Chains A and B, each alone.
Chain A
Amino acid sequence: MSATPSKYMNRRKLMIRIRQHALYYVLIGFALVWTLVFQFLPMAGIVMAFQDFDIIKGFRGSPWVGFKHFIEMFRIDPLRRAIVNTIYYSVLKLFFAFPLTIIFALLLNELTNMTFKRIVQTVSYLPYFLSWIAVVSLFYSFFELYGPLNDLRLRLFGPDTPRVNILMEPRYFTGIMFWSHVYKEIGWGTIIYLAAISGIDGQLYEAAVVDGCGRFRLVLHITLPGIMPTIVILFIMQAGGLLNANFEQIIGLQNLYTRESSEVINTIVYRYGLQQGKFSLATAFGLTQGVVSFIIMFVVNRISKSLSGVGVW
């Protein structure tokens, strides 16, 4: 019976509270307007994947074509190759670069001299603070025909050794991609693991030592299980990026000789969309990539939750 007046009172109270907070709404308004314009409007722009989008006619004037571009895209050979490349590169990073970071963190943790440890850490952060194009530039100079690597090869194998232009050879691209990724990210990537390790209860180690565990078994039985939740979460987050190659890295490393064999989905979207003006087709690629990525992330998270109880959400 008294529901109506109290509801009315509540609403009045709410209005008063909102009025009291008016200035806060102005403050958050900047971020909200920004999100609407720069994030949600492009999402609406996805409709162009279902149109024959023409930049002069705009969204209203361009004809609707349904799933034409989604059917067409699977007939394009370079795209098929790009999908294979993208997955290949991601799998390499996930199953080889990812464990390397953990191993590096564990080895750092075994250093007993704190000053030395800090120096190693600081040095290993260096590439992280360089832009991708700077790292690419370093790699180009290092692997050049007359760069340090070829100099070293000549010194090791004698002056008759032919100089190789590693960066112009398609077959070396994957290796360069992988190691430049490791070079740039491995040092910085250890921070989160080292933090997780320092969060492990010291009594566990003491108890294990009493039970006769040596140093290696401590790592195996205490440290690794202790950081397992961190490992799982980072793994899920990376697995979600299975279809997402690093655009900056690939576009930077590619050159005329290696481009064709090293295209990934992101770079194909760039070439078809921005360089050739096939906006709708490229949007269809991008949309498919986004949807599939989301599903992968969701599935991996589910699997992890049911197996280990750890999930990102």
Chain B
Amino acid sequence: MSGNEQETANYSSSPSRGRRWKTSERVFNVFNITLMILLCIIFIYPYVNQLAVSLNDSNDTALGGITVYPRVITFENYNMVFSNSMFTSALFVSVVRVIVGCLSGLFVTYSAAYALSKQSLPGRAFFTTVLLIPMFVSGGMIPTFILYRMMGLMNKFPVYILPYLFGFYNMIIIRTFLRTIPESLEESAMLDGANSVDIMFRIYVPLSMPVIATIALWMAVFHWNDWTSTLLYVQSKSLHTLQFMMYRLLKESEVMMQIAADRARQGLASGEDVPKITPESLKAATLMVSTIPIVVVYPFLQKYFVKGIMIGAIKE
């Protein structure tokens, strides 16, 4: 499934030719493996525990003692999340943000990388410097806030997209990749009368799918996981994201009361007794809904993620 390139030369970890492990080395091996298993448990336990809680009956959870499996299995907690309009709206905003944010971000970043990968472009060094400066100095939180306010971005969906259209680091990774594509391809296309934008979309974009996939994954994870833009720039509840719902569940007890009221109203409308959901179970279900898309996918795509940081690390 996953391939890491780091395991090629591993001289220090195998006993050299013809020699057996020394006793001290064998003791170390046992110690090391035990430690690693222990660490794995620590890494994964809190998450599996929440998975169990999210699948467990809410009243039963309140008794305590849930470990890694649900005692009384129920999907009521998820049902709750997916039937509440606050959560469905947040899920919708999150998904739209990821799609729009990735596509627009890829376009702007890729275009810049493509132009800057041309050695013959006059002013290339100057443009690179201009784009690089923000890596070292920035206006800071308050001036940025005031600017967004003056631009009318507050409480608008574009505040999730526009500030993240370009990333210098991503641009460098794409540019590095583009330089490995032979220029003769472009020259022959030029002779056929294609212009540079045609060439970019018809020749370079299809050839650079591996790097585009890498950057797209990074952007998707960023957009999906970001919650501070909501904290800083968005009050309107209809624009809250799934990650921000988690923040609200942690910080505002009133959210729970509102949800309880909503449910009671639903119960009155349908004439049934709606089961009560405790904050613990609701939190666990929200956590799962907002993390599972990434948790399920990353083990299979980790080589793309790893590749991203490797290219960047070598280049800079």
B200 surroundings in chain A (CB, below 8 A): 27
Q: Kindly state the separation between the CA atoms of A144 and B33 in the bound complex, as whole angstroms.
A: 31
Q: Kindly state the separation between the CA atoms of A18 and B107 in the bound complex, as whole angstroms.
A: 23
A132 surroundings in chain B (CB, below 8 A): 225, 227
Q: Is B193 an interface residue (CB 8 A)?
A: no
Per the 8 Å Cβ criterion, residues 230-253 of A in contact with B are 247-248, 251-252
Q: Is B210 an interface residue (CB 8 A)?
A: no
Q: Is A84 an interface residue (CB 8 A)?
A: no
Q: Kindly state the separation between the CA atoms of A198 and B13 in the bound complex, as whole angstroms.
A: 12
Nearest CB of chain B from residue A277's CB, rounded to whole Å = 10
Q: Is A191 an interface residue (CB 8 A)?
A: yes
Q: Is A1 an interface residue (CB 8 A)?
A: no
Contact (A138, B50) CB under 8 Å given A24-B115, A273-B142: yes
**CB nearest to B306 among chain A residues:** A191
Q: How many A-B residue pairs have CB under 8 A?
A: 295
Q: Are B43 and A187 in contact (CB under 8 A)?
A: yes
Q: Kindly state the separation between the CA atoms of A139 and B42 in the bound complex, as whole angstroms.
A: 12
Find A46's partner among B4, B143, B162, B165 (CB 8 Å cutoff): B143
**CB nearest to A218 among chain B residues:** B12
Find B247's partner among A25, A27, A48, A133 (CB 8 Å cutoff): A133
Q: Are B295 and A138 in contact (CB under 8 A)?
A: no
Q: Is B208 an interface residue (CB 8 A)?
A: no
Per the 8 Å Cβ criterion, residues 238-267 of B in contact with A are 243-244, 246-247, 249-251
Q: Are B36 and A107 in contact (CB under 8 A)?
A: yes
Q: Is B7 an interface residue (CB 8 A)?
A: yes
Contact (A124, B39) CB under 8 Å given A21-B121, A109-B13, A192-B313: yes
Q: Are B149 and A55 in contact (CB under 8 A)?
A: yes
Q: Are B142 and A34 in contact (CB under 8 A)?
A: no
Q: Kindly state the separation between the CA atoms of A60 and B97 in the bound complex, as whole angstroms.
A: 35
Nearest CB of chain A from residue B292's CB, rounded to whole Å = 11
Contact (A131, B243) CB under 8 Å given A17-B122, A191-B6, A251-B231: yes
Contact (A148, B250) CB under 8 Å given A34-B166, A111-B36: no
Q: Is A228 an interface residue (CB 8 A)?
A: no
Q: Are A137 and B283 in contact (CB under 8 A)?
A: yes
Q: Kindly state the separation between the CA atoms of A87 and B162 in the bound complex, as whole angstroms.
A: 33
Kindly supply a per-residue 1/0 record for chain B positions 275-308, scoring 1 wherever the CB is within 8 Å of any chain A CB and 0 otherwise.
0000010011001001100110011001000100
Q: Is A89 an interface residue (CB 8 A)?
A: no
Q: Are A23 and B6 in contact (CB under 8 A)?
A: no
Find A31's partner among B66, B171, B295 (CB 8 Å cutoff): B171
Nearest CB of chain B from residue A23's CB, rounded to whole Å = 4
Q: Are B221 and A118 in contact (CB under 8 A)?
A: no
B284 surroundings in chain A (CB, below 8 A): 141
Contact (A23, B14) CB under 8 Å given A42-B147, A129-B221, A252-B247: no
Kindly supply a per-residue 1/0 record for chain A positions 254-284, scoring 1 wherever the CB is within 8 Å of any chain B CB and 0 otherwise.
0100000000001001100110000100110
Q: Are B14 and A223 in contact (CB under 8 A)?
A: no
Kindly supply a per-residue 1/0 record for chain A positions 166-183, scoring 1 wherever the CB is within 8 Å of any chain B CB and 0 otherwise.
000000000000000001
Q: Are A197 and B6 in contact (CB under 8 A)?
A: yes
Contact (A141, B136) CB under 8 Å given A187-B43, A192-B309: no
Interface SS of chain A: helix
Q: Is A28 an interface residue (CB 8 A)?
A: yes
Residue with the highest number of chain B CB atoms closer than 10 Å, among A14, A21, A116: A21
A21 surroundings in chain B (CB, below 8 A): 118, 120-122, 196
Q: Is A65 an interface residue (CB 8 A)?
A: no
Q: Is B35 an interface residue (CB 8 A)?
A: yes
Per the 8 Å Cβ criterion, residues 24-56 of B in contact with A are 24-25, 28-29, 32-33, 35-36, 39-40, 42-47, 49-50, 53
Q: Are B143 and A283 in contact (CB under 8 A)?
A: yes
Nearest CB of chain A from residue B283's CB, rounded to whole Å = 6
Nearest CB of chain A from residue B284's CB, rounded to whole Å = 7
B125 surroundings in chain A (CB, below 8 A): none
Q: Is A3 an interface residue (CB 8 A)?
A: no
A273 surroundings in chain B (CB, below 8 A): 141-142, 145
Nearest CB of chain A from residue B185's CB, rounded to whole Å = 16
Q: Kindly state the separation between the CA atoms of A129 and B292 in the bound complex, as whole angstroms.
A: 10
Q: Are B5 and A137 in contact (CB under 8 A)?
A: no
**CB nearest to B61 among chain A residues:** A146
Contact (A286, B134) CB under 8 Å given A110-B12, A192-B313: no
A130 surroundings in chain B (CB, below 8 A): 225, 291, 294-295
A125 surroundings in chain B (CB, below 8 A): 298, 302
Q: Kindly state the separation between the CA atoms of A34 and B163 in the bound complex, as whole angstroms.
A: 8
> Lowest 9 CB-CB distances: which A-B pairs, in order?
A42-B139, A45-B143, A131-B225, A286-B140, A31-B112, A205-B11, A39-B134, A28-B115, A194-B6
6 A-B residue pairings within 8 Å (CB atoms): A34-B165, A38-B162, A129-B294, A132-B227, A215-B28, A247-B228
Q: A126-B43, A283-B142 are in contact. List 13 more A-B contacts (CB 8 A).
A: A35-B134, A43-B137, A122-B299, A126-B44, A131-B224, A134-B246, A137-B249, A140-B283, A144-B280, A197-B6, A218-B11, A279-B146, A282-B142
